[in-house]
Amino acid sequence: MARAVSTRRKLIYTLAAWTAGLLIFFPILWTVLTSFKTEADAIADPPVFLFFDWTLENYAIVQERSDYMRFLWNSVIIAGGSTLLGVLIAVPAAWSMAFVPSRRTKDILLWMLSTKMLPAVGVLYPIYLIFIEMGLLDSRIGLTLVLMLINLPIIVWMLYTYFREIPAEILEAARMDGATLREEILYVLTPMAVPGIASTVLLNIILAWNEAFWTLNLTAAKAAPLTAFIASYSSPEGLFYAKLSAASTMAIAPILILGWFSQKQLVRGLTFGAVK
């Protein structure tokens, strides 16, 4: 029998959750507010929170100096393309590890995860030379491939976890009914794991969207995404906090909107299989 939770404890938990949420969200809120300030108000001491002269001048200047839509389109193609390609590779890989018994499965998963422990700068030089030789430097295709390979271990791990929650008997029944391997994955496994796949896609779009190291080192101008767009307003000479905040707000707005509208799907996918 479930133990009743007192009203006082519920109130404490609610206040604690709201406090933690506000602390996490405050830097984003401060960035958005700063984007509407003048440069003088942005560096005011003591800082001003709400009572300042609101202005859209920073957004106008940023849009005038930079082609925001080009950076945005590059981010959409790179983040979406790398995630889609990663899922296409990870689904059969996760299926084989989840439903084909092997003593090496845990070792393979651990090895894949260990690749995320290597500092990215450790492989920058060889990848940079490969990109030069193959003509992929400052290209959307090159960045899409790199971000797909970077996030592929996470995609496989997440899909493997979701697939393990699906009873193997269902797939065996499909095989007995004459389903081929392709039909088994496409028409039986994938529809049952839609919540898990959706949350994996959303999480990896966010990871690819926010990736800065590779996008700054492997692009110049042609394929530069929004991370490079933000970096262009970060200068050691002069104070451009308001304009930098405006650029940052314009860069994070699309992914915040996506996360807001898909939060139910994301939570559903992340808790997939947690309650039986």
Domains recognised in the chain with CATH numbers:
66-232 (1.10.3720.10)
Decide: 273 and 166 in contact? Cβ < 8 Å. Answer: no
Task: State residue 194's pLDDT score.
Answer: 83
According to the model, what pLDDT value does residue 130 have? Answer: 92
pLDDT of 187 reads: 86
Element (H, E) at 14: helix 7-34
Residue 198 has what pLDDT? 86
The torsion defined by the Cα of 260, 263, 266 and 268, in degrees rounded to 10, comes to: -170
Give the Cα separation of 120 and 156 in Å (integer): 20
Task: Return the pLDDT at 19.
Answer: 93
Per-residue pLDDT at 121: 87
Q: What residues of the chain score a pLDDT lower than 50?
A: 1-2, 274-276
The residues, ordered by sequence, that sit 6+ positions from 197 with a Cβ below 8 Å of its Cβ are 87, 91, 159, 162, 190, 269
C-alpha neighbours within 13 Å on the C-beta side of residue 87: 20
pLDDT at 1: 45
